[in-house]
Amino acid sequence: MSMPTIKHVRAFTVRGAGADYHDQGDGHWIDDHIATPMSKYPDYRQSRQSFGINVLGTLVVEIEASDGSIGFAVTTGGELGCWIVEKHLARFIEGAKITDIEKIWDQMFNSTLYYGRKGIVINTISGVDLALWDLLAKVRGEPVHALLGGPVRDELSFYATGARPDLAKQMGFIGGKLPLHHGPAEREEGLRKNLELLGEMRNRVGDDFWLMYDCWMSLDVEYATRLAKAAHEEFGLKWIEEALPPDDYWGYAELRRNVPRGMLVTTGEHEATRWGFRMLLEMECCDILQPDVGWCGGITELIKISALADARGKLVVPHGSSVYSYHFVITRHNSPFAEFLMMAPKADEVVPMFNPQLLDEPVPVNGRMRASALDAPGFGVRLNPEVKLHRPFPR
Ligand SMILES: C[C@H](O)[C@H](O)CC(=O)C(=O)O
Ligand SMILES: [Mg+2]
């Protein structure tokens, strides 16, 4: 079979929720006084949108092959991502064979090294990479997980991230990850409130349900150690997530040595590429790696990150990212469960994570998802035609 070539790549942006899942309306739990590295400034403490967490918007990458097939993917990247795709990366994509995924990745990464490596450039590369996997799998008429070696289990089980672990338990999830509300700038009173909320949730969910704290890069080693010790000893906190800024590998290593035995340190959603994750692994920074497949370099890079972790006996439980994670997690022994981000404003019902941008996006039922829910070609999702796309740099 002669493989089609790539005719066009197009990049669009969209405002409002979707892949930029922090871009929500008022009153959403995800923007309600969550501790961040900006919490030391009182003006930026109550809302993450106040410091611009939602400025980027969604990036939609669409790749059309010579046989008319179209692959696409969504990630966070907005207009800046569109510029990178249309003005720079398109030259490595258009004209290539649809099977040239590894070569295209290498060319995109190496040609942007002088201004890229991490952040928005790697988000954009991830978006192109995911669209390429979607296209190849669609042309083959198979789900992406089949191209990755096929499922190693019949279903995925999920923990839920959101403000209501108690409701997540009723909905069948295996655990609940709370956002941390108060950072070091809110001193002892903030620490007490953080522990109180955890205690209240522990009372509601009972002893066996996993409870975790997501600290979104907001703490220092000293505070994180105190929080971890008290939260684990008093309320059985299972893991402390992203306690420190992503560049503080030394701090993570120290924190991991400090936390009580049996408690896990997790991080990685703002880390990227095999080299970034190699640092986390070699410096013994954490127990679970949490790459976001839309930000770490795409599926092509996640395969490598996962192999590095596997060789060291570490788990990879990707951050959010819906179908782009599910197709990977179902194929890997060292990814035994997945995250589901509760995007309902009150975290009281299951809604698709990338709502409203995608159609056919599967969601967990009773905290689980059958592998057969992922059997449609590609990543199995469609763009919602009612969500209008904007192409800022048409060629
Ligand atoms: C809840 C966290 O602050 C963030 O919005 C999501 C996240 O880090 C995660 O799902 O993990
Ligand atoms: Mg997190």
Q: Is 161 in the pocket of ligand 1 (CB under 6 A)?
A: yes
Q: Is 166 in the pocket of ligand 1 (CB under 6 A)?
A: no
CATH number, position 175: 3.20.20.120
pTM: 0.98
Q: pLDDT at position 16, please?
A: 86
Whether residues 270 and 126 share a domain: the answer is: no
Q: Which of 319, 327, 333, 390 is catalytic?
A: 319
In a domain, 48, yes or no: no
Whether residues 154 and 79 share a domain: the answer is: no
Whether residues 232 and 318 share a domain: the answer is: yes
Whether residues 171 and 220 share a domain: the answer is: yes
Whether residues 264 and 154 share a domain: the answer is: yes
Catalytic status, residue 270: no
Whether residues 69 and 170 share a domain: the answer is: no
Distance 241 CA to ligand 2 centre (A): 6
Task: Say if residue 214 carries a ligand binding annotation.
Answer: yes
Q: Is 292 in the pocket of ligand 1 (CB under 6 A)?
A: no
CA–CA gap between residue 295 and residue 227 (Å, rounded): 28
Name the residue range of residue 124's domain: 6-20+56-141
With a cut of 0.90, is the ipTM above it? yes
Whether residues 336 and 309 share a domain: the answer is: yes
Whether residues 135 and 161 share a domain: the answer is: no
Whether residues 254 and 304 share a domain: the answer is: yes
Whether residues 137 and 180 share a domain: the answer is: no
How many separate domains does the chain show?
Answer: 2
CATH number, position 84: 3.30.390.10
Whether residues 211 and 244 share a domain: the answer is: yes
The minimum-distance atom of ligand 1 relative to the CA of 34 is 3
CA distances, 146 to each of 122, 141, 325 (Å): 25, 10, 14
In sequence order, the β-bridge partners of residue 62 are: 10, 72
Residues lower than pLDDT 70 in the chain:
1
Helical ranges in the chain per DSSP H: 78-83, 90-93, 101-111, 119-140, 144-147, 165-170, 187-205, 221-235, 249-258, 273-282, 298-311, 322-329
